[in-house]
């Protein structure tokens, strides 16, 4: 078995947990690859024989000459999103170890880590498929702008946000070529089911079980009280044009932001691959609702 470990090397608690994982894996016949950032911060002389660096371009074969079986994301949900973006479509399941705060994606707590790792090595786990959103940009004539470097696909959400402090956006939203609505608001969140507990939840959007195949549209501070969040099938495609007092607006893809001209058209659809999330033991979305959101209390 080969695992790759990601984490924010600037956080001391991350390094503590990574050392713990390395100690646990020593002598178990598990090959370990570390991100370059972690390797630079750790004294690896205590762990002879591993870990090696992982270059994400090496998948499916790595320095050990075998595929990577799992990735461990050590941190909070932000670290998990970064890890998933690096992995992309390489078909590597990700297990999130929480050293952050809430932790919906990174749902393994440090006090459970030994038991969880034991089950992982023993093959006692399931894999959940999580959908992503693909973002592209075109000129008014429909020509795709490949020169515009958009962030990787979104596991949580695509957020359309105003650039200035006071201006309201007009967001013309077409679904499968038909006009849905022109939102007059501070922005629009287009979310996956996984992202329903993130930005979407904070602005009053609905909670959705991650296994659902849907996309959620939630306006930010809409000008009309009759405009509510909407849930649609995830094979629907969105074409979005934004008008503003300014000539630009912001697009945030899982927190990675970019300024776009109002002359451009934004296209959003379901990505062609999924993120594989490792589930072990009784960690589940419903348990997270009860324990992390105090559901029903």
**Alpha-carbon separation of residue 46 from 18, 23, 53 (angstroms):** 13, 9, 16
3-state SS track over 157-224: EEEEECCCCCCCEEEEEEECCEEEEEEEECEEEEECCHHHHCHHHHCCCCCCCCCCCEEEEEEECCCC
Nearest Cα residue to 173 out of 79, 247, 267, 251: 267
77 labelled catalytic: yes
Q: Could you give the dihedral angle defined by the CA atoms of residues 109, 115, 118 and 120, in that order, rounded to the nearest 10 degrees?
A: -40
Q: Residue 14: which residues within 8 A CB-CB, separation 6 or more? A: 7, 8, 38, 74, 75, 79, 99
Select which of 55, 57, 69, 77 is catalytic.
Answer: 77
Q: What does the chain come to in residues?
A: 297
Q: Which residues are catalytic?
A: 77
């Amino acid at each position: 078995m080969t695992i790759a470990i990601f984490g924010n090397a600037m956080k001391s608690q991350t390094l503590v947990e990574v050392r713990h994982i390395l100690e646990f894996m020593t002598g178990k016949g598990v090959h370990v690859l570390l991100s370059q950032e972690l390797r630079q911060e750790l004294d690896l002389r205590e762990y002879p024989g591993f870990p090696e660096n992982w270059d994400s371009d090496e998948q499916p074969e790595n320095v050990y000459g075998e595929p990577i079986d799992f990735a461990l994301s050590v941190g909070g949900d932000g670290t998990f999103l970064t890890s998933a973006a690096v992995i992309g479509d390489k078909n590597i399941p990700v297990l999130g170890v929480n050293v952050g705060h809430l932790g919906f994606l990174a749902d393994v707590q440090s006090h459970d880590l030994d038991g969880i790792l034991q089950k992982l090595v023993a093959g006692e786990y399931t894999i959940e498929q999580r959908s992503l959103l693909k973002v592209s940009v075109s000129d008014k004539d429909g020509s795709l702008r490949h020169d515009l470097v958009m962030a990787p696909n979104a596991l949580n959400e695509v957020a359309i946000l105003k650039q200035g402090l006071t201006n309201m956006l007009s967001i013309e939203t077409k679904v499968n070529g038909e006009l849905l609505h022109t939102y007059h608001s501070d922005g629009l969140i287009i979310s996956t089911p996984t992202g329903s507990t993130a930005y979407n939840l904070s602005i009053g959007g609905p909670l959705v079980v991650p296994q659902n195949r849907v996309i959620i549209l939630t306006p930010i501070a809409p000008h009309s009280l009759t405009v509510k969040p909407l849930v649609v099938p995830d094979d629907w495609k969105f074409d979005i044009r934004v008008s503003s007092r300014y000539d630009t607006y912001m697009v945030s893809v899982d927190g990675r932001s970019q300024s776009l001209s109002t002359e451009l058209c934004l296209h959003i659809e379901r990505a062609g691959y999924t993120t594989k999330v490792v589930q072990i033991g009784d960690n589940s979305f419903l348990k997270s609702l009860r324990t992390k959101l105090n559901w029903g209390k």
